[in-house]
Structure 1
Amino acid sequence: MAPIWSLREFLARKRQALAAFRARLREQPPAPTPLRATVSVAAGTGLRPVRVRDHTVLSDSGPALGGYDLGPNAPELLLAAMASCIAHSALAIAADRELALDDLQVEVTGQIDYRGAMAVSDEAPIAPTDLRYTVRYRGEVSDSEMAALQADLERLCPVLLAVLQPQALRGQVERIEA
């Protein structure tokens, strides 16, 4: 199906939405927006439906880890979240600057050494490594405008910053009463 709007038309609409949202934020008392994701592991399959607001994303592992490969695994979802956030941040920056983009694509790559996560090797890293992103674009935009966009991406993209500047994470384990 053909898009209803071109990317340039979407960016014009986004610029208006961002201006209205910023105006509302300035009028309200300072307060962060709560975020929440939950998983209730499916008995018998180990599938992990992730609930975020009214949305569900199915997470699974491949057969080597006892899964059915019905969805991305958690490290892949991390890269997916980063790609989505980089793309959205780039769109917001492009909309604010009235950049003439006709196409925008983001690719995030990395690698994982399962020997670390599976406790096979103490030397192998546990977290994904060699994370990289590439923003590809088409449009009437100069190299300097895109360099400035990238600089702002690395200053304003929440998921990218959560990886580059990790936050404290407190955890707990609670018993579910029958």
Structure 2
Amino acid sequence: MPPTWNLPEYLERKRDLVEAYREQLRSPDAAPAPLRATVKVAAGTGARPIQMREHIVMTDAGAILGGHGLGPTAPELLLGALASCLAHSALVIAADRGLHLEQLEIEVTGQLDYRGTLAVTDNVPVAPTDLAYLLRVTGTLSPEEVATLERDIAELCPILRALTNPTPVTGRTEVVVP
């Protein structure tokens, strides 16, 4: 990808690519894309490298919890995943609708009360709370286009939907004898 593209030029290219992919997805053979992430805890540090396809993202705790600050914590990564998904969803929507964006920035905030995660207090939530995002766009958008962008993001952003309409997660433990 040429580094000289500005965001409007990128969105023009993205529109064509998204439409071509949509055409593939209309095939009777189309199926959901498999997702997978694996972690093997680093014995000496407790750091948690996450392998996703050919990518590795390092996660770790701060020193107060025995970590070394080698990467974001899992709750921070959740906010990062939401920010990234919101941004990508906004790009796809802008490309689809022909919205003129010069810049796009997402800020996601929240808080985590470790009294809950460390079982210090029973009535404190374990999950992150007060999640909020701010979508900052530089461009020429009418109030109607802003409303469409907000509505479509709420409807089409997979991570936002997973957080606001939770998907059941199943789990099990497998014991491997050394």
TM-score range, shorter chain: over 0.9
Matched, 1:100 2:96: no
Structure 1 consecutive aligned stretches of length 4 or more whose deviation exceeds 6 Å = none
- The equivalent residue for 1:60 is 60
Gap runs ≥5 in structure 1: none
Alignment of structure 1 residues 1-178 onto 2, 5 Å: 3-178=3-178
Contact 2:24/2:30 (<8 A) preserved = no
Distance 2:28 2:36 in 1: 22
Cα RMSD (Å): 1.1
What letter matches 2:142 in structure 1?
S
Query: Is the partner of 1:27 in helix, strand or coil?
Result: coil
Q: Please tell me whether the aligned partners of residues 75 and 128 of structure 2 are also in contact (alpha carbons under 8 angstroms).
A: yes
Once residues 163 and 62 of structure 2 are traced to their aligned partners in structure 1, the CA distance between those partners, rounded to angstroms, is 25
* Structure 1 range deviating more: 21-30 or 91-100: 21-30
Identity of aligned residues (%): 54
TM-score (norm 2): 0.97
Structure 2 CA distance, aligned partners of 1:177 and 1:59?
A: 27
Match of 1:27, as an amino acid? S
**Aligned length, in residue pairs:** 177
Q: Distance in 2 between matches of 1:116 and 1:99?
A: 43
Q: Deviations over 1:32-55 (max 9, x none)?
A: 111000000000100000000000
Unpaired runs of 5+ in structure 2?
none
